[in-house]
Amino acid sequence: MIRFATLWLVGLALLAAAATAATASAQDAPGDVARGKVAFEHSCAMCHGPGMHGGRLLPGTASLDAKYHGRVPATLEDRTDLSADYVMLVVRRGSEGMPFFRPTEVTKQDLRDIAAYLTRKVR
């Protein structure tokens, strides 16, 4: 687990600048939670939703469940520890088995909205 944690932190530090650059041009329009919920349902929920399919957790949820073993919720919508930069980074850079998404699939506005939605519970 040390390896995972270390890589995660190093990766985040190294890539944060890239994420900021990728989204800087449109930072004047903040993310919208309500729109973000719709965009999440359209683009993310088929893997990261809370439901089951064929008796299994959906693949993104199952993967996070196997990664965190309950330390954080496996469903992204229940997380309280995500940052907007991190959400945007993962969507554009991918994460492990999850491929990255192009700006025509998840537009820059969609991405800000999804980030707003997934960080609405951050304490």
Residues that bind another protein (CB under 8 A): 7, 11, 18-19, 21-22, 46-47, 51-60, 62-63, 66-67, 92-94, 96-105
Nearer to another protein, 3 or 123 (CB): 3
The least distance separating another protein from the CB of residue 65, rounded to whole angstroms, comes to 9
Amino acid in position 32: D
CB 29 within 8 A of CB 110: no
State the nearest-atom distance from the C-beta of 123 to another protein, in Å.
27
Encode burial over 62-71: b for 16+ CB neighbours within 10 A, e otherwise.
ebbeeeeeee
Q: Give 46 or 122: the residue with its C-beta nearer to another protein.
A: 46
* CB distance 114 to 39 below 8 Å: yes
